[in-house]
Structure 1
Amino acid sequence: MNSTNTTNGTGTDRRGETQIAADPALPTLVITREFDAPPERVFRAYTDPDLVIQWLGPRQLTMRIDRYDARSGGSYRYVHRADDGTEYGFYGVFHEVRPNERIVQTCTFEDVPDGVSLETAAFEDLGGRTRLVATSLMESVEARDAMLASGAEGGVREGHERLDELLRGTQAADEHRRISRVFTDRVHGVPPGAWDNTAPCEGWVARDVVRHLVEWFPDLLRNGAGIELPKGPSVDDDPVAAWTVHNDAVQALLDDPATAEKMLSNPHIGEVPLDQAVDRFYTADVFMHIWDLARATGQDEKLDPGKCAQLLEGMMPLDEVLRGSGQYGPRVEVPESADVQTRLLGFIGRTP
């Protein structure tokens, strides 16, 4: 076995490729790959059984998880099944689970019960990306080489390809969770009696900011995807509860693995994967309305500058289209030297 075996056969560490290194003198296997997602998302894909079942192993095998308690001291067992009915069972114990950083576990293939490997997965933060370094320590070099000869190497590579696809699919859910959490904080932070304060949107008061979000999006889902969201109390009666029910329902929709397979159809945007439609049109709307609710109720108005820059870059080329749709009022001119939040607010017609 060569000391390094790579996808392109050169030994070069390349993004998007699984690097597999087997030291001829040691019973180890070191697997390295970069993923276009932060460590918390990659870690979750390794520890949440609802996600693990969607990527671990080759595509041609189905997977059943009997238990998957991914915590220090927890255990797991899962089975891969081939089309001919052959089953391959694996089990082990989690020795250390350090969130977003490290997982140490044992692994035993049930057909070889005396063979136990110690596996360590380290998640390195590359600033929005993650370098995964997984090391397997086996009982002998011969056992390691026999495992590779069995075709396990191809299964690892294919599993990582599936994980890449899964991470792209969970991005919308994580982005909504991050942004809606800030809006929820502002909802809970509205002072007593401030729900009828004037809001930046013409003709709106603070409660109308919540009303807008809980009313327009369910209609889009109902008409475009046949999805009915649970409905909470009236915004006039209880804006906090109305938002909580609505927000929890949207998050549950995005967290559902089946959502990645659904489409949303709309005469203005065409047919778009449902999770992408939620991210592009709804989550972005929630983000911009954080400022509206904060301004109306005297709360922290600061927005994430990275998200501001992303939205501004995406909307600038669509200036005339957006203006013509009636979604935004006349553009408010701001100095070119203004910060990115001020420029975004001016673009969508707000006076910062």
Structure 2
Amino acid sequence: MIGISVLGISGSVGASTLKVLKNFPESFRLVSFSVHSNTKLALELMDEFHPDFVCITDEKQTGVWGDKKNGTYIVYGSAGLDEIVSLAAVDTVVTAIVGAAGALPTITAIKAKKKIAIANKETLVTFGPYINRLVKEYGVSMVPVDSEHNALFQLLEKEERNNIRAITLTASGGSFRDLPIEELPNVSIKQALNHPTWSMGPKITVDSAGLVNKGLEVIEAHFLFGFSYDQIEVVIHPESLTHGIIETTDGACLQYTSHPDMIYPVAHALFYPHKTPKLLTDRKPHSWKNLSFRSPDPNRYPALAIAFQAGRTGGAAPAIFNAANEAAVSLFLEEKIPFVQIPRIIEETLNELVITYPEDWDGFYEKDQEARSFVNKKYLKGVHA
């Protein structure tokens, strides 16, 4: 029986993880999980799965259930996250907290020598060199859960490294992929959150609408797989059926294709290095209909080029990119800036801040905080570039 801890169980990755646990009750046990403020869901899951520990991270709810509830120990805040991933009964940690907040408990889990099923892309984007050093030092396995990275992970295991010319991440194109570009300055929050394929949280959905999420995934792919940015490509694939493509040196392309359901990559990550033992959903290839691909329009998605540039610059540039984006998306969701301002803010922040090349947590974190402060101080005052 494999013990599972889920950080951020109330999101889409958490929901898919629960589907896997229900499909394989003989293989996995939910030892612990965290929610931010959704205590209603936490109670329901406590009644169903009887975990040993639950962490509530919302500071406003610290102490709301005391130390124990319905036989489950309750912990709070960031210290609580560290506690639930370090439990002896936990074998695998699913890191599904959105944003850079997921980095510290991931680091704790690595140091506790747990297998990491990583769904928090910001951990590698912000702290990539540091995280990779820790993974190597502690000898842990890190398996990506994002559908694109998990697809590439599986494809890359089947090919010799020297036979691979390039890897390709696919993108749905987000909420505005077919909207006339001249209408983008006036789009609403409701429009941005209307994703054509996936059901995700608001921050990730907004990222997808501007292809910022794919920029983050490009940087994450660099740190996960070690390919140069010249070897990483992005294509728009509206059907969201092909999740990753590798091109071999002879020009052939191998692709991983499945119905757009996170149960596939989650199950793979939890069972790895073993194969998922049974059929998850019955989706035949003839049900896929069309598979179409096109290059991203740089005028529609300017953040993608900015992400590539941040990745090539290296050092703290990816951390600044991510932090500036998180701050800008928050401003958009609070109706303080228009949607098209997000990539402009990211680019401005990268241009204004000094790019450093840290070697430890503190150096990357300092730049993360500096970028957030820069954006919030300037744009909360209503000064727009």
Give the structure-1-normalised TM-score.
Answer: 0.29
Higher strand share: 1
- Max radius of gyration: which structure? 1
